[in-house]
Amino acid sequence: MSTKHYMHFHNYAQSKRMEYSMDTESLTIHGEMIWRATITVGASNFHGEGRTKQAAKDAAGKAALLAHGVDPDASQSASRSQDDSEPLRKRWYMHAHNHVRNSGRIIETITESSGPSHAEVWEVKLRVGDDVHYGRGRRRQEAKDEAGKALLVAEGVDLDALSY
């Protein structure tokens, strides 16, 4: 069972505009490989260990969530306060993809990332024929949605008429 505590912490940190770093290392102890992960927030370090890199990151994420007073087993949306709430995200990429395919054309998605893993920047290009539409964001889906929105605007689609 995957707990995804690290992603829960990552999303929490982003919602609070909190900067952090993540370090991982593999060790061999008594012939068995163990992963260690450390999340650093300011002067505080939160450690986790596991048989896989992801398990170690999740253990460190759980420790960081607990230290920040967040229930690691609560849903991620529950960790947002009313003041931090944001409107539901339109799925522009999905709408753009369906719009192009329904018109019988082919859409090509090119996704690239740059920067360190704790501060990746994603760039997405949607190519339809000779037209290219760009998106950029801290998360891959954010970049895809930005590119999808650009495509829909260029195609003259009424964005307000689209459902979530």
pTM: 0.47
- Neighbour tally for 3: CB within 10 Å: 15
Residues 6+ apart with CB under 8 A from 121: 113, 114, 115, 136, 137, 138
Report the residue count for the chain.
164
Q: What tokens appear for 141 in the block? A: 């889906």
Q: Rounded to whole angstroms, how far apart are CA atoms 120 and 136? A: 11
- Asked if 124 and 146 count as a contact pair (C-beta separation under 8 A), the reply is yes
User: pLDDT digit of tens for each residue in the chain (164 aa)?
Assistant: 456 888 888 888 888 888 889 899 998 878 888 999 999 998 889 998 988 888 899 899 899 988 988 888 775 544 444 334 344 457 888 888 888 888 889 888 889 999 888 888 999 999 999 999 999 988 888 899 999 999 999 999 888 877 65
